[in-house]
Chains A and B, each alone.
Chain A
Amino acid sequence: MEMTLNWYLTLSSVLFITGTLGFLFRRNIIVMLMSIELMLNAVNLTLVALSQAAADTAGQILVFFVIAVAAAEAAVGLAIVIAVFRGRQTIDISKIKSFRY
């Protein structure tokens, strides 16, 4: 049992690190948002694996809430991307200095 959990946790940490690297090193806002989705998914995988190991449904309920938060985050985040793009015609994060146009 211990061993299996380790495999799932290893996988999810690798995915989380990938998402973090993407968030830190990409300059395209849309790809940065996708990296956040990747990180959220890694966390969800951890939650489900731990909920299975602990025989408790609380982890899976939490995944529900995380998915709802991810949907809300994607909707608002992409709305902000659209608003910023309309103002200055770029989604390169290094070219955007302030929210005011």
Chain B
Amino acid sequence: MAGQILFFALAVTAIAAGVGVVWSRSPINSALWLILNLFCIAGLYLTLNAQFIAVIQILVYAGAIMVLFLFVIMLLNLSEMPSVTRFTIARLFGFFLVMGVLALLTYAVAAGLDVLPERIVPAAAAVSGSPSTLARSLFTEYALPFEIIGILLLAATVGAVIIAKRKPV
């Protein structure tokens, strides 16, 4: 039961944060909502037994990509940016409280309809998302896609340098 409530809490918060990304007037608020959404999805990966994916979700997405986004927002320093709504801890508490109540309600409705999520039990032994399991297929079966990703990242580096360093016309 605790696992199911956990799923609903993460799912409801993820959806609310996703709506927040789209709804916020200020790009900074959108970015902060997106970070909350990424953390919730990382929690969902944990419930799916994909530990390594959950960790790199936080490392790469929340840690690096979102830093780049916030960075560009500050780099551009938009003068017409709408003022950010005042952030208070009370509002944060309120948000999580409302999400918790909504998650409980969803859980109750799902329990009433008898469609609660159960563990995904695969036919074979459970797939572990540990790094060594992933490495076994990543570096043997998927070696060529792995190298192509290297070329993609190289192209991204070169392209971004060329585009960003060009002198303004």
Residues 32-49 of B at the A interface (beta carbon under 8 Å): 34, 37-38, 41, 44-45, 48-49
Nearest CB on B from A6, distance (A) = 8
Q: Is the CB of B76 within 8 A of A76?
A: no
Nearest CB on B from A8, distance (A) = 7
Q: Is the CB of A58 within 8 A of B53?
A: no
Nearest CB on A from B142, distance (A) = 5
Q: Is the CB of B48 within 8 A of A86?
A: no
Q: Is the CB of B117 within 8 A of A3?
A: yes
Residues of A within 8 A of B (CB-CB), count: 63
Q: Is the CB of A31 within 8 A of B164?
A: no
Contact of B64 among A21, A25, A60, A71 (CB under 8 A): A71
Contact of B57 among A22, A67, A68 (CB under 8 A): A67
Q: Is the CB of A28 within 8 A of B27?
A: yes
Nearest CB on B from A24, distance (A) = 10
| Alpha-carbon distance A12/B136, docked complex (angstroms) | 28
Residues 29-81 of A at the B interface (beta carbon under 8 Å): 30-31, 33-35, 37-38, 41, 44-45, 48-49, 51-58, 60-61, 63-65, 67-76, 78-81
With contacts A41-B38, A71-B64 taken as known, whether A81 is within 8 angstroms of B72 at the C-beta atoms is yes
Residues 16-61 of B at the A interface (beta carbon under 8 Å): 18-19, 21-22, 24, 27, 30-31, 34, 37-38, 41, 44-45, 48-50, 52-53, 56-57, 60-61
| Alpha-carbon distance A42/B137, docked complex (angstroms) | 24
Residues of B within 8 A of A (CB-CB), count: 70
| Alpha-carbon distance A7/B15, docked complex (angstroms) | 13
Q: Is the CB of A25 within 8 A of B22?
A: yes
Please give me the residue from chain A that is nearest to B124 by CB atom: A55
- A-B contacts, 23 of them at CB < 8 A, read A1-B120, A1-B121, A7-B11, A11-B14, A18-B19, A18-B22, A33-B69, A34-B27, A38-B37, A51-B127, A54-B122, A58-B137, A64-B53, A70-B61, A72-B153, A74-B65, A79-B160, A79-B163, A82-B76, A82-B164, A85-B76, A87-B168, A101-B169
A80 contact set on B, CB distance < 8 A: 163
Contact of B69 among A6, A30, A68, A79 (CB under 8 A): A30
**Extra 11 A-B pairs, beta carbons < 8 Å, given A35-B21, A44-B41, A72-B156:** A21-B22, A44-B57, A52-B49, A53-B122, A57-B127, A65-B149, A74-B69, A79-B160, A81-B72, A82-B163, A82-B164
Q: Does B90 count as interface, using CB distance less than 8 angstroms?
A: no
Q: Is the CB of A49 within 8 A of B22?
A: no
